[in-house]
Structure 1
Amino acid sequence: MMSVHPRVVHKRRATITALPLYYSGHLLKKLTREKDFKQYYAELRGATLFLYTDDTQDTYIEKLDLEQLKSMELESPYQRKASTIFILTLHTEEVQLKMDNPDTGEEWRGYILTVVRKEIPSKLELLPGQMLRLQEVLAEERKRNIPAPHQTPPPLPPLPPRPSFLLSTSFSSSSSSKDMPECFFSVTRLEAEQMLEANPEYGGIILRPSTLANNYALTLRQPTSSGPVVKNYRLTTTNSGFVIELDNPVTVSSLSDAVKYFIEKTEYRLYPYMESQPYDTCIEVSPPPKCVSITSPTTKTIPKAHVAPMQQSQPKEALLSTPAKPGEGEYVVPNDHKPDDPNLKLVQLDGELQRILKLRRENIYTANSDEKVTS
């Protein structure tokens, strides 16, 4: 297999890490609980130490976030002809780095402490040229950590309603529940760090109780170019407010001001941790009751009024015409199929009355004629 040119490997590493290269070389590394050292090719890019199996590999197999470095101690006194072993105490573990050449180990120590503390250590046994290179690295690292002036802090997203379980009964007497910031959670340091790591979209600042009575602590998870960094700060309660225990202590009047101080100092890249509330995204239609129809309404048809036809005027003789004479002993049954017109009924009654009167007159005349003939 044809080997890759070192320049190509270096370019690929720079693309993958996206960090400037400050120092590189071979070293041995192991965790404190491990028995044997393993050899690696290491590159210090920014404040991150990338480890490779050899100098021809373009993808790192492990990295150490040195922003979490608490201390870097020499295991044994410096000796010209002995291997150098450094104990690096990180946030979650202890790592040992071993350099066979003590001069190389001193260079590694100088570069690591310079990029982490952003200053050159006061006691270094290096040559003037090596110190000049350290000054260049320090200037470049400081410049890399300064945000561009045209960049404006992103607007903070609106906070969701405060969950009911945030308040705790173990508050100090100097702070009432109404003054407690909404990012307060009654959790331990480990629980706060796990919350920030599991849900970074909820925010990066958690206020929590301290292990000391009536004191508080702030847990921050801050994204960097080399990966997220988790830090913890203590807030001490005083008669006038709270003191943020930094290298230069800061006094604030309330816990809300303490949270605001960290938001401003991180250039609004962090905001308080708040758990979001779930919202429904689908509307379900329940089946309608059986007695209710959901079909579109139909136009109601209004029945037309039944109007009786107009009766044409007829001659009075036609109205008074004698109907067929019913048989003797029979009843006159009116026609039930005629329209129920009141005017028509009056006309019919009048016609029947006229017929009855006519019959009576005829009977009277007939009776009189019989009497005359008889006489």
Structure 2
Amino acid sequence: MAMRKGRKKSQLPECYYEGYLEKMSFRDQTSQKLWTCLCGNTLFFFSDKRDSDYLDKVDLTALISVEDDDNPDNETYSTRFTVQLRSGSLKFIASSTEARELWKGFILSVGQLSVPSSLNLLPGQIHMMGDAVHKEQERQADISPSAATDCTPPNTIQSDMPSCFFEVPRLEAELLLEREASKGNLLMRPGRSLNSYAITIRMESTGAIFKHYRVLCDENEGFYIALAEPVFGKTLQDLVDHFVKINKDSFKPLVIEAHYDDKICFISSDKESGERTLQPLLASPAAAPHKHVDEKLTTTEAEAGGEQKSSLADMEYDEKESRDSSAVASSSVAPPRRILMPPSPFPRKGSVASPANNQGDSRKLRNTEEQRRLLMPAISELKLKLGQKLKLQD
């Protein structure tokens, strides 16, 4: 929980009651013990009694009820109570049963501006709560507009809403101007009451100085700044321009441009460690650019190009068809298989030599006779060895 750098504890409204409380919302699993101060109609939470910067706050303007937590399953059920607001519910644990009754009484008194009669309180405690109710009524009368009118409430978006308008409360406006000091030192925000606005200004001296000006609705369907000498304007932008015109070097409206991401990201979880990290989505491959026809081509050139493409396509189609037909023919009519025979030096029976080849045939016969004469000794030797081998087998 971040510490708020806003008004110090001494700058907060009068404290009606304070003490330690354990705060826990319905979303939380554990409670946190904090020093709690009821200042005005707001609960401020500090980490320690001596701290001056608060950690969190709860506005009791939208208070609905304060009830006991009588669930006997909880060991501390006698000190528990629940604060029901329009925005949600909060659970608290007091230090004792008496402290719980006091917290309930002060919260109801300030939130409803009346002392509750259903609580078990002592006369002195009831007197303290009555005093707190009286002081809170005076405080709210001082901050409310002196002449309330039935003009458009600030939560209605208007067409002339200034660009320096922010939906932030008083303290958040100061923090925003402190953080964005380089972008501007003036902003407009909703006022405390339903029918008002406010202008917050930050100036530099020995330190940062903040000024707040109330903007109210005018009877003539306009607005005015509630000063000793009121400044009137038809629109809220006119009132912002009034501050800029006073001294252009002193006041600059705060304008923060929204940030837009240029990449799509997603949360990725590591399978081994379980750590979740923000990962950018990989860009998809760029689509192939479309080919646009040059508009400067004449009709004749376009037709010629079309005929050339058509003729090339026809040639490719004919060539492909011929290849396919030849492949089909070769696959459908298979050649007969032949037994491979070794070449014979003698001519086969039935072969008839033509007269044109008589001279060549005579040469072949002479060569054959000579080869036979040379091979006869080897053949005789082989026959002899074969006969000896057969005798040995017998």
TM-score range, shorter chain: 0.3 to 0.5
Q: Which has the higher contact order (CA 8 A, sep 6+)?
A: 1
Structure with the higher fraction of residues in helix conformation: 2
